[in-house]
Amino acid sequence: MSIIPDLDSMTDEQKLQVLESVQKSIRESKEIQKKKIGENVQAVVAALKKIELDINARFESVAQTIETRVANIKDGQDGAPGIDGRPGRDGKDGKDGRPGRDGVDGQSGRDGIDGKDGVSVTNAFLDFDNSLVIELSDGRQINAGEVLPPDIAEKLKIIVNTSTGGVGLPEQTGNSGKYLYTDGTNLSWQSGGGGGGGTGDVTGPASSTDNAIARFDSTTGKIIQNSAVTISDAGDVAGVASLGVANYVDFDTTPTVTNAVGRLYWNPDQTTLAVGLTSTISADVGQTLYARATNAEATTISKGQPVYQFGASGDRVSVKLAYNTSDAGSAKTLGLAAEDIAAGQTGMILCQGVLGGLNLSAYSPGDTLYLGATAGTLTATKPYAPNHLVYIGTVERANSGNGRIYVRVQNGYEMDELHNVSAQNPTNGQVLIYNETTSLWEKANLTAGSNVTITNGAGSITIASTGGGGGSGDGGAYAWFLS
């Protein structure tokens, strides 16, 4: 059977009696506990006193023994200090007491008083004396004093406060999108081109390219659009697809410019326009002639070496190193290589004009240069038969690294290459005879006559008589011949 009372079924008075009974039992228990603790403490104290007496007795006996020994010996050195004992452990924390009951809520405070309405600015205008007047929503006016310098204020013609004799703004209602116009006396709102004003608002795209030129979109005169053409802050124009008809174009005659492919600029050294063919080669308009060719040699053709037309490769002429010891290597001399051209690659050949950046230290300015006997060489010594004469050009500047030649190839002609000579494939002893019917000099053999023999040799003709006749002795004759 439970001895715990049913608190829910008890009255408040009964609950109070139970509480007092419990509290009384707790007090009695504490008194009993204190009494037992006191008894235990007395027993502990008596035991400690007995231990104290025993320790004192032993101490006195030991002290007497020590004093006797100390008297018989000399003082020794002090011993080392002992090590401090370890700190004792902290005691346990006590238990928290039970929470108290909540107090009764206080009374609600009174509502605060409403603040006053704020004051706003309803208008602002310039007074007749150039003072800024600010009107507030509570009817007050604040004069902020002069806001413009006197010289500017004197020029100000429009003053909102017309009561002082100034010129008032016309009514704004119903005039959205119009502009203010004056005829010198009166102000009015205008739209379009009326009153001598502009043509209306100009509008543009939501975004545009920096430095782009603005251009009109449609014919309204109001809308502009972005452009692909730009002008940089340095004045460079970019994005131009083509140029229309112009009367003329002026070029800067003292430019600071670096050659580039497709760049057209004025060359003050040659006093003409130059156009970039490669990053290092430019053609002077009207003064230089270049050909793009393929190197048909197995090795690199170096800048400044003479070349002749060999054939064709890759839809363009191919070249090999020229030399003057045969007609094949000299007759079709094209010009000088304007750059190093690797085997099988293409490069520029200068046919006419100035080629610089060469080693011409072996020559003097004004020297005439001819095609040399070794492939790809030049000589200042004029070649003679059997070598073929091909004129290459003239030395303008003799320098080891910046020499310059004016190139103008002129090929020497064979006799049978003359336009009024028909003497192809001649044989020993043949001569040239003029044929009036064909108007040509033609190759022919001398014909032996009566008592005359003709022997055609290599470079010679022998004519001899072979019998009697009107002549006396052997006779000989000489004639022009082809070798």
* pLDDT tens track for 231-250: 998 888 888 888 888 899 99
Interior angle at CA 357, CA 250 and CA 292, nearest 5: 70
- Residue-level pLDDT at 478: 43
CB 480 within 8 A of CB 467: no
- Using alpha carbons, select from 446, 170, 405 the residue that is nearest to residue 305: 405
**Mean pLDDT, residues 404-432 taken together:** 87
Average of pLDDT values for 313-337? Answer: 94
Backbone angles phi, psi at 38, to 5 degrees: -60, -40
Beta-carbon count within 10 A of 285 CB: 14
Checking if the pLDDT of 93 tops 80, the result is no
- Distance (Å, whole) CA 483 – CA 476: 20
Least confident of 139-153, 173-187, 266-280: 139-153
Average pLDDT rounded to a whole number, residues 65-78: 62
Q: How far apart are CA 312 and CA 334, in angstroms?
A: 13
From the number of C-beta atoms within 10 Å of its C-beta (0-12, 13-18, 19+), residue 385 rates as exposed
Residue 317, pLDDT score: 96
Nearest CA to 452 among 419, 480, 430, 477? 477
Residue 92 has pLDDT above 90, yes or no: no
Sole residue written with tokens 């008075």 = 13
CB 253 within 8 A of CB 242: no
Rounded Cα distance, 40 and 42, in Å: 5
The answer to whether residue 124 scores a pLDDT higher than 90 is: no
Q: Of the ranges 63-77, 279-293, 319-333, which one carries the lowest mean pLDDT score?
A: 63-77
Span 273-279, average pLDDT: 93
pLDDT at 303: 97
Of 108 and 211, more confident: 211
Q: Give the pLDDT of residue 36.
A: 72
Judge whether residue 319 has pLDDT over 80: yes
Confidence of residue 55 (pLDDT cuts 50, 70, 90): confident
Confidence of residue 425 (pLDDT cuts 50, 70, 90): confident
Q: What is the pLDDT of residue 187?
A: 81
Q: What is the mean pLDDT of the chain?
A: 81
* 386 upstream amide cis, omega within 30 of 0: yes
Is 84 a residue whose pLDDT tops 70? yes
What's the pLDDT score for residue 71? 63
Q: Does residue 465 sit in helix, strand or coil?
A: strand
Condensed to tens digits (0 to 9), the pLDDT of residues 426-473 reads: 888 888 889 899 888 988 888 888 888 888 888 788 888 876 544 444
pLDDT at 313 over 60: yes
pLDDT bucket at 189, cuts 50 / 70 / 90: confident
231 sits in which H/E element: strand 230-231
What is the value of pTM for the model shown?
A: 0.51
Residue of 75 and 365 predicted with greater confidence: 365
pLDDT at 350 over 80: yes
Q: Is the pLDDT of residue 79 over 70?
A: no
- How do residues 194-240 score in pLDDT, each as one tens digit? 444 455 567 888 888 988 888 888 888 788 888 889 999 888 888 88
Q: pLDDT-based confidence at 304, cuts 50/70/90? A: very high
- The least confident of 18-27, 44-53, 237-246, 376-385 is 44-53
Percent of the chain with pLDDT over 70: 82
